[in-house]
Amino acid sequence: MSETVLSVRDVEAFYGKIQALHGVSLDVREGQIVALLGSNGAGKTTTLKSVSGLVRAQSGEIRLRDKPITTMAAHAIARLGVVHVPEGRHMLKGLSVTENLELGAFTVRDAQLRRRRLEEVFELFPRMAERRNQDASLLSGGEQQMLAIGRALMQGPEVLLLDEPSMGLAPKLVTDTMRIVKRLNERGTTILLVEQNARLALKLAHYGYVLENGKVRMQGAGAELRNDERIIQAYLGGAG
Ligand code: ATP
C-alpha cells in the first residue's frame, strides 16, 4: 500500500469558545483523492485550515509524511508542499493571468523550475495560456477556479487541499472542474477534496470521510460510500 502523505490524528479546533473539531482523524495516501464530505458547518473547511495552519489545532497531531506540522506557521507548512486552495478564488485584480500564476511560485527560488511549472500549468489549462496576458479579474468564474488551482500547482504540492472547487459554478463547469481534479490526480497529485456535491466527489475519490458536528461519522472507499444507504439518504438526495 502507498505511503501516507498526510495524517490527521484526534484534532480539536476552536473559534474562541466554539469547538469546531472534536477529534478529527484522517489519512491521505500518496496518489489518492480523498473526499471530505458533510453538511454545512460540519467542520470540513476547519479541517483543511488546521492542516494548512490557518487555524491552530488545540490538540491532536498533523503530520506531513513523518514530519509533525501541527504547530508550524502557515507559510512554513505551505513551503513544505501542503498547498491550500480556499473557497472563493481570490484573484488579484490588475494583475495578468501569468502574474497571478507567478505569485503562486514566489517561494520557488529556482527560476527554471518556475518557468517549467508555468508551462505545465498552461499545458494543463490551455484557456489560461490563451489568456495569459489578460487581467485575471476579467476571467469567468470557471476560469478563475482553474487559475486558483494553477496557482497552487506552481508551488509543486505534495498534497493539494481543495475547498469546494465547484462552489458557485454552472453545472457544466462543475463537471469540467471535477474532470480537472481527476486529471491532476492522474498526473500524480495527491488531493484532499472538500465538496458539497457528494455524488461527484465520490465518483472520483479513492477514499472518503463524512464529517458531522466536527467528528468523523463514516469513512470508506469511494465506491463503498457511494453505495451506502445512509450516505445516499443524507447526501445524495435519496436517489442512488
Ligand atoms: P461549510 O460547507 O458551510 O463551509 P464546513 O463543513 O466547512 O461548512 P466549517 O466552516 O469548518 O464547516 O465550520 C465548522 C463549525 O465552526 C461551524 O459550527 C461554524 O459555524 C464554526 N465556524 C467556522 N468558522 C468560524 C469562525 N470564523 N468563527 C466562529 N465560528 C466559526
Q: What is the pLDDT of residue 237?
A: 62
Q: Which residues pair with 12 in a beta bridge?
A: 22, 59
Which residues have a Cβ under 8 Å from the Cβ of 94 and sit 6 or more positions away?
Answer: 135, 137
One-letter amino acid at 108 equals: V
**pLDDT digits 0-9 by tens, 139-189:** 888 889 899 999 999 999 999 999 999 888 888 888 888 999 999 999 999
If one residue of 45, 54, 192 were mutated to test the ligand 1 pocket, choosing by the most ligand atoms within 8 A of its CB, it would be 45
pLDDT at 91: 74
Distance CA 79, CA 158 (A): 10
**CA dihedral over 222, 226, 232, 238, signed as positive or negative:** positive
What's CA 142's distance to the chain center, in Å?
16
Q: Residue-wise over 163-192: b if at least 16 C-beta within 10 A, else e? A: bbbbbebeeebbebbbebbeebbeeebbbb
CB atoms within 10 A of CB 47: 29
Atom of ligand 1 nearest to the CA of 194: 7
pLDDT at 201: 92
Q: For residue 142, what is its C-alpha cell?
A: 470557471
Q: Summarize pLDDT for 31-59 with one digit per residue, the tens.
A: 999 999 998 899 999 999 999 999 999 99
Residues 112 and 99: their CA atoms lie apart, in Å, by 16
pLDDT at 109: 86
Please tell me which residue, 43 or 89, carries the higher pLDDT value: 43
Residue with CA nearest ligand 1 atom 2: 40
pLDDT at 240 over 50: no
**Residues with Cβ < 8 Å from 24, sequence gap 6 or more?**
8, 10, 11, 12, 43, 47, 60, 211, 214, 215, 216
CA–centroid distance, residue 41 to ligand 1 (Å): 5
| Protein residues whose CB sits closer than 6 Å to any atom of ligand 1 | 15, 18, 20, 38, 40-46
Taking only the tens place, the pLDDT of each residue in 195-236 is: 988 888 999 999 999 999 999 999 999 999 988 888 877 776
Reported pTM: 0.93
Task: Enumerate the domain spans of the chain.
Answer: 4-88+159-235
Task: Using pLDDT thresholds of 50, 70 and 90, give the confidence band for residue 238.
Answer: low
pLDDT band at 22 (very low <50, low <70, confident <90, very high): very high
Give the CATH superfamily of 4-88+159-235: P-loop containing nucleotide triphosphate hydrolases (3.40.50.300)
Predicted confidence at residue 134, as pLDDT, reads 94
Q: How far apart are CA 26 and CA 5, in angstroms?
A: 11
> What's the angle, vertex CA 205, arms to CA 22 and CA 35, rounded to 5?
20
User: From the CA of 161, how far away is ligand 1's center (Å)?
Assistant: 17
Query: What are the start-end ranges of the E strands in the chain?
Result: 4-15, 18-29, 33-37, 59-64, 67-68, 82-85, 159-163, 190-194, 207-212, 215-221
- pLDDT for 101-137, tens place per residue? 998 887 888 999 999 999 999 999 999 999 999 999 8
- Closest C-alpha to ligand 1, atom 30: 15
The sign of the CA dihedral 16, 53, 161, 216 is negative
